[in-house]
């Protein structure tokens, strides 16, 4: 059975969307957990994974690099000849939800501000080892 580059591109896009959801929803859950006293939102693995994910996004943006998942998905879409009309349903919605056209400085500012929020939350509501 031949490799379906379109399917692989969709899979990479879904993984990418999952990471974005983890970063954004993770911060909302951490803040909610802080307010409501949910102990599980202080788990070391969760908090370090969350901090590491946004730190990676901020660093690659400061360096002017595209996300490796974006590059990989785009390469797979080119191999699948999916440019413009040829994109799948999943590709269409991933593009609408994940990819915005704006000056690079806007992304640097937005990602840096969100990263600062995550760091401040990390410092003032630090992770703890669970018993």
* Residue whose token pair is 């003032």: 124
* Residue whose token pair is 């059975």: 1
Write out pLDDT tens, residues 89-130.
Answer: 677 777 777 777 888 899 899 999 999 999 999 999 999 987
Write out pLDDT tens, residues 63-98.
Answer: 999 899 989 998 998 998 876 545 666 777 777 777
Per DSSP, 128 falls in state B
Global pTM value: 0.87
Write out pLDDT tens, residues 18-75.
Answer: 999 999 999 999 999 999 999 999 999 999 999 999 999 999 999 999 899 989 998 9
């Amino acid at each position: 059975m031949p490799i379906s580059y379109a399917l692989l591109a969709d899979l990479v896009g879904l993984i990418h969307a999952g990471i974005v959801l983890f970063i954004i929803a993770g911060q909302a859950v951490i803040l909610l957990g802080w307010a409501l006293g949910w102990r599980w939102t202080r788990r070391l693995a969760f908090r370090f994974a969350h901090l590491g994910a946004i730190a990676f996004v901020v660093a690659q943006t400061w360096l002017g690099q595209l996300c490796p998942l974006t590059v990989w998905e785009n390469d797979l879409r080119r191999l699948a000849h999916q440019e413009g009309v040829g994109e799948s349903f999943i590709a269409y919605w991933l593009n609408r939800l994940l990819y915005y056209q704006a000056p690079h400085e806007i992304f640097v500012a937005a990602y840096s501000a969100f990263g600062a929020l995550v760091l401040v939350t990390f410092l003032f509501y630090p992770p703890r080892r669970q018993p």
